[in-house]
Amino acid sequence: MRLIPRSLLFLTSVFVLLSVSSTSPIPIPKLFTQCLEANSQNPIPFSTTIFTPQNASFTSVLESTAYNLRYLLPSMPKPEFIFTPLEESHVPIAVVCANKLKIHMRVRSGGHDYEGTSYVSLIEQPFMILDLAKLHAIKVDIAHNTAWVQAGATLGEVYYRISEKSPIHAFPAGICPSVGVGGHITGGGYGSIHRKYGLAADKVIDARIVDANGKILDREAMGEDLFWAIRGGGGGSFGIILSWKLNLVQVPPIVTVFTVNRTLKQNANNILHKWQQVLPNIDEDLFIMVHTTVTNSSTRGKTTISTSYIARFLGRVDRLLQLMEKKFPELGLTKKDCLETSWIKSVLYLAGFPNTTSPEVLIQGKLAIPKLYFKAKADYVKQVIPKNALNSLWKTLMQDDAALMIWVPYGGMMSRISESATPFPHRNGTLFLSQYVATWSDGEKSMDKHMNWVRRFYDTMTPYVSSFPREGYVNYRDLDLGMNQFNKSSFLRSSTWGFKYFKDNFIRLVLVKSKVDPSNFFRHEQSIPPVPIAK
């Protein structure tokens, strides 16, 4: 005897199925994995490339290249999952699948974004991370003076692979070797030889990019507008850079480096005043940056200001000394301050590695400076800051126990490239880049104190830096300048930081964005917004 008719049994099981699937729908990472498999020409076991919080290695993958500990605090939003493509072809299908599943995507290369936009979304959840760390192949072609470099490579890997092939070839990009080429070059990328050769972005001759439709485009296919936008318009707005084709530059086999420190007692103010006038105009072979810190003087533990002149000269020590004697005698550089060394060793020197470090450190992913919690802000200076103003700056600088101000000279080639040649506009007329950094190691405890100090110092600088707009550098991202909201970005909202980072180039960036990604698939806190445009 059957108590329950078949049809009812069937209905019950359908009901059970439905209720199971509605209380535990297939999780997004699973759907994403299935979508990758369905769309891949050569499917691999994609589950081994997807990390969810349930996987033991999730945290280590998330934290791996994330450079600002402030964005790894427990209070920061965490991704639903991380996808680490193993080959180029996985990137376009990831875009197709994220589009299809409507999951917000962040793209990470070297993870050095100052505000963590490559691994934290403050404005839209849930989100996933596409982490390009495994795509870091570098092909150097000395005969043609070029290299193809995948986005997940670090600057250190690029420098090392070039030096492996030739001691007199180099690439003009950032000083910190752990920075990734994916984010760095899309934001411009200055370094220690930009006075001679310009930015990293100025040396890009081709690129491969995945657009919002999941198509791979090279320079010819993307067209000159998009190719212009990705060479300085900032990461995360136009597409996913897979690789860059770079022009290499020449360096001498032996270069000279030095570090000279001067405190207030040792005439720091006069020297710094002179540095501002001399460095933007001096021989392009010379680069001297200045780190200004608060230090305890050995006597009576009183705090004082210490300025550190860290330099590289593309030549031998004798020519350097002649040049310094003629143009910048105030520094009092002597032969015993200087070290003649190979190009690649000078890379390690400027990065801050001890002089016993071997160049292989550049391909081992070791950091010269350990990760810290930090907040930074930056300015461009166009007029020499008067000597008597410096003392008022030091007063504010001394209000933080780990304050750092970094001045980087521009001029030379930087001034000979027009403001609209690339989206990076800080060219002729810019004396130097001025950056303020607070670092700390106790997490949220002293965070507000340090963040407030940086903001206060930025205010103190107001009279001495560029204005209308007060210019900033997109690679020194600063969310104090404003953010897009939720999953929306608007032209009005973004125009504050847009004009600061790009000056009038911002308009062209918005037009390119509107054309190549009108649905705003590539978006973050400070991505370029699309506007509706007539076809």
Q: Is residue 251 helix, strand or coil?
A: coil
Decide which of ligand FAD, ligand NAG, none touches 151; Cβ closer than 5 to 8 Å per partner kind: ligand FAD
> How wide is the angle at C-alpha 178 spanned by C-alphas 207 and 208, nearest 5°?
10
Decide which of ligand FAD, ligand NAG, none touches 296; Cβ closer than 5 to 8 Å per partner kind: ligand NAG
Cβ neighbours of residue 345 closer than 8 Å, sequence gap 6 or more? 355, 359
> In the complex with ligand FAD, which residue's Cβ is closer, 111 or 498?
111
Identify the DSSP state of 340: E
What is the spatial distance between Cα 495 and Cα 501, in angstroms, rounded to a whole number? Answer: 10
Q: How far is the CB of 517 from ligand FAD (least distance, A)?
A: 12
Q: How far is the CB of 123 from ligand FAD (least distance, A)?
A: 13
> In the complex with ligand NAG, which residue's Cβ is closer, 308 or 496?
308
Q: How far is the CB of 115 from ligand FAD (least distance, A)?
A: 8
In contact, 312 and 287? CB cutoff 8 Å: yes
Q: How far is the CB of 38 from ligand FAD (least distance, A)?
A: 24
> In the complex with ligand FAD, which residue's Cβ is closer, 242 or 324?
242
> In the complex with ligand FAD, which residue's Cβ is closer, 352 or 359?
352
**How crowded is residue 366: how many other Cβ atoms within 10 Å of its Cβ?**
13
What is the spatial distance between Cα 283 and Cα 413, in angstroms, rounded to a whole number? Answer: 11
> In the complex with ligand NAG, which residue's Cβ is closer, 153 or 294?
294
Decide which of ligand NAG, ligand FAD, none touches 270; Cβ closer than 5 to 8 Å per partner kind: none
Q: Is residue 98 helix, strand or coil?
A: helix
Decide which of ligand NAG, ligand FAD, none touches 236; Cβ closer than 5 to 8 Å per partner kind: ligand FAD
> In the complex with ligand FAD, which residue's Cβ is closer, 324 or 347?
347
Decide which of ligand FAD, ligand NAG, none touches 496; Cβ closer than 5 to 8 Å per partner kind: none
Decide which of ligand NAG, ligand FAD, none touches 512; Cβ closer than 5 to 8 Å per partner kind: none
Q: How far is the CB of 64 from ligand NAG (least distance, A)?
A: 13
Site residues (CB under 6 A) for ligand NAG? Answer: 47-48, 50-51, 54-55, 102, 259, 261, 293-296, 301, 306, 308, 339, 355, 401, 415-416, 428-429, 486-487
> In the complex with ligand FAD, which residue's Cβ is closer, 274 or 524?
524
Q: How far is the CB of 235 from ligand FAD (least distance, A)?
A: 2
What is the spatial distance between Cα 82 and Cα 53, in angstroms, rounded to a whole number? Answer: 9
Torsion of CA 68, 70, 75, 77, to 10 degrees: -30
Cite the active site residues: 476
List residues bridging with 33 in a β-sheet: none
In contact, 423 and 229? CB cutoff 8 Å: yes
In angstroms, what CA-CA distances link 56 with 62, 73, 357, 365? 11, 18, 33, 22
Give the rounded distance of the alpha carbon of 383 from its chain centre: 27
Residue nearest to ligand FAD (CB): 235
> In the complex with ligand NAG, which residue's Cβ is closer, 391 or 428?
428
The DSSP-derived string for 394-426 is: HHHHTTSTTEEEEEEE--THHHHS-TTTSS---
Site residues (CB under 6 A) for ligand FAD? Answer: 67, 106-114, 117-118, 132, 151, 174-176, 179-180, 182-184, 186-187, 189-191, 235-236, 240-241, 475, 524
Q: How far is the CB of 300 from ligand FAD (least distance, A)?
A: 34
Q: Is residue 2 helix, strand or coil?
A: coil
Decide which of ligand FAD, ligand NAG, none touches 112; Cβ closer than 5 to 8 Å per partner kind: ligand FAD
CA atoms within 13 A on the CB side of 123: 20
Give the rounded distance of the alpha carbon of 95 from its chain centre: 22
Decide which of ligand FAD, ligand NAG, none touches 261; Cβ closer than 5 to 8 Å per partner kind: ligand NAG
**How crowded is residue 131: how many other Cβ atoms within 10 Å of its Cβ?**
26
What is the spatial distance between Cα 32 and Cα 83, in angstroms, rounded to a whole number? Answer: 9
Cβ neighbours of residue 366 closer than 8 Å, sequence gap 6 or more? none
What is the spatial distance between Cα 176 and Cα 513, in angstroms, rounded to a whole number? Answer: 30
Assigned token pair, 514: 């509107």
How would you classify residue 40: left for phi > 0, otherwise alpha for psi between -120 and 50, otherwise beta? beta
Assigned token pair, 468: 């209308």
Q: How far is the CB of 13 from ligand NAG (least distance, A)?
A: 27
